[in-house]
Structure 1
Amino acid sequence: MTTDDLDLAAAADRLEALICEIGHISADDPSFGRRVNLFQAGYADSLATLQVIAQVESDFGIELTEEDLFDPRFGTIDGITAVAGERRAASVVAHPPGKD
């Protein structure tokens, strides 16, 4: 497992904890998981979405684009983490550290 994989796993853990907290989701909820569409299943609403966006942007040091938010993967914890990881990778390629 690479450092990036660990970072993504840690970010997914934090995102899952945030969603459980704001959605009052119990740990023993059999329907909840990282691959469940949070919006279709009723675990997240528009206010939760704003909190998720803020958390993801903070964790990854990125600014999500409209394209990111409408990506079909953005409905699940795993998908949100993947989209954010790709956005971070793209921003590092566009602005490599030490090249500013």
Structure 2
Amino acid sequence: MAGRNLGLSGGRFVAEILVPAAFLQILSGLRIGWAFAWRTLIAAELLFGVSARSSGIGWFIYTSRAQLETASVFAGLLTVILIGLLVEGVIFRSLTRITVQRWGQVQT
């Protein structure tokens, strides 16, 4: 209603009022979606990389496990974890700092 009182309508109303108000929930959904997508990608590599005999982190973990190279299995798992944390830390934390905290929806 405040946007309507200021004379905003259509695209400006959505861009200046609705998107900033909903961005915290949108960002939370993106984070959850990223987590599911990343786990699914690694699982798909484990399943389908075996039949295709291709390269990838999942294939590396699978072959290392089959050859009883425990250190290599943990190195592959650590790589998966680090990539996930890197995306979370760099992309999503930066998006939160740039948008949500700037708009005053989260206390710093």
Work out which structure has the larger RCO, using CA pairs closer than 8 Å and 6 or more positions apart in sequence.
1
TM-score, scaled relative to structure 1: 0.34
Higher helix share: 2
